[in-house]
DNA sequence: CCTACCGATCGGTAGG
DNA sequence: CCTACCGATCGGTAGG
């Protein structure tokens, strides 16, 4: 019986996190009230605090979950035995696919990490900075190998990350370009450029 | 004397708008309180309402000012007698330069336009959609002229606009890449691509 | 441009 | 999981 209760609590917590992710995405962290979240859960606002410590915790779960996910993938790519430029392309594709498959979590993390509180805010920024550095190093290796043009590695990382992030503005309607097509076009523009040779 | 008062009021309004732009950039629209804005102006919150109709008006001024600025430039580029790809490059450079020279206004517009209220929200979205369509048409013309690869024009616009917008995450410190260098690298990546031919 | 104030809403707690 | 409630803060108004 104790086990049942524990499981139920755990599921409840996950449910809250799922709905919070959706609401944060729709309205933003600040504009999402605990009362609205509770309403969507079919309970009173006060009852939420039996499952979570506060609004903060929900944002933390989302942001640090994403950070762990990205770091894990970076590790994998670094350990693959492939050409540097293939590593870069894999990273670009991974970022695009994360935008497509984990849209809400990525979106919320990108926009709302600023509302994390210290010392978690500092921790998060440190992780992101370290991630971008590893990304830039892979680009530098591709430059050294003569596979990529001699651009500033950090400018390249910035261009890639922000271009990909722009997928959040992409209109997902049937009359528009499809997801796989968007991925191919974006990878092509970033690697081969718009201009015809 | 009436003239003096009118002038003073006008200056005061511009002052409020300047400070509001800075605060909106730092904290976001929702998190910026009229009390904090008033404090920065050296007055009480209630006094702000002698110069402006409400918090809404400040956001409107910023967002529609930017929209007008971008639309005006688009008109200019469309009327220039140059090759299609040169038009595209001019637009890319204009967007980058706007991010560098009107940083706070562009940043606030990009992030906080969602807080505009109807019917202005609809009007703004309509303007943005029309702008992106004109941008896509210029790209289509460059494709037709054989100057740009056959990508989906909207994918290209999305990639360009979001890559440029990413400049908001760029660290402006002396140890980092300079603004003109960033512009050149970004234009080069978008037009010629990262990969060496 | 100020004092004084309003109704609304917020995140969160006490106690059961 | 609920009722009842707290202190804080919000955008904005009345009246001068």
Residue A23 pLDDT more than 50? yes
CA B39 to chain centre: 27
Q: How many CB pairs under 8 A join A and B?
A: 143
pLDDT on residue A6: 45
Q: For A111, name the nearest residue in chain B, comparing CA atoms only.
A: B111
Q: Judge contact between A159 and A88, C-beta under 8 A.
A: no
Return the closest-CA partner of residue B124 out of B135, B114, B137.
B114
Q: What pLDDT score was predicted for residue B5?
A: 42
Is A27 (CB) below 7 Å from strand C?
Answer: no
Given an 8 Å threshold on Cβ–Cβ distance, is A185 in contact with B151? Answer: yes
Nearest to A185 among B155, B176, B182 (CB): B155
The CA distance from B155 to the nearest CA of chain A, in Å, is 6
**Chain B: residue nearest A84 by CA?**
B195
pLDDT for B10 equals 64
Q: Which nucleotide C1' is nearest A9 CA?
A: D1
The reply to whether A28 Cβ lies less than 7 angstroms from strand C is no
Nucleotide showing the shortest C1' distance to residue A37 CA: C11
Cβ within 8 Å, pair A158-B151: no
- Write down the pLDDT at residue A196: 79
A7-11, A183-187, B149-153: segment of lowest average pLDDT: A7-11
DSSP string of B53-98, one letter each residue: S-HHHHHHHHHHHHHHHHHHHHHHHHHS-S-HHHHHHHHHHHHHHH
pLDDT band at A175 (very low <50, low <70, confident <90, very high): confident
Residue nearest to nucleotide C11 (CA to C1'): A34
pLDDT the model gives residue B124 = 98
B139 contact residues in A (CB cutoff 8 A): 194
Asked whether the predicted pLDDT for residue A7 surpasses 70, the reply is: no
């Amino acid at each position: 019986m104790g086990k049942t209760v524990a499981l139920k609590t755990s599921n409840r917590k996950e449910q809250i996190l799922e709905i919070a992710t959706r609401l944060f995405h729709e309205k933003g962290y600040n504009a999402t009230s605990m009362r609205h979240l509770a309403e969507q859960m079919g309970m009173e606002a006060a009852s939420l605090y039996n499952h979570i410590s506060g609004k903060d915790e929900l944002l933390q779960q989302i942001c640090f979950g994403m950070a762990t996910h990205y770091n894990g993938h970076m590790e994998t790519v670094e350990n693959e035995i492939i050409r540097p430029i293939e590593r870069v392309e894999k990273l670009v594709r991974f970022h695009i696919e994360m935008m497509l498959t984990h849209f809400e979590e990525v979106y919320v993390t990108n926009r709302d990490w600023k509302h994390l509180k210290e010392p978690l805010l500092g921790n998060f920024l440190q992780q992101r900075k370290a991630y971008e550095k590893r990304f830039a190093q892979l680009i530098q290796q591709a430059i050294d190998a003569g596979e990529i043009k001699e651009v500033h590695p950090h400018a390249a990382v910035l261009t890639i990350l922000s271009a990909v992030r722009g997928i959040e503005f992409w209109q997902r309607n049937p009359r528009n370009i499809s997801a796989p097509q968007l991925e191919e076009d974006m990878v092509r523009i970033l690697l081969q450029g718009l201009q015809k040779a």
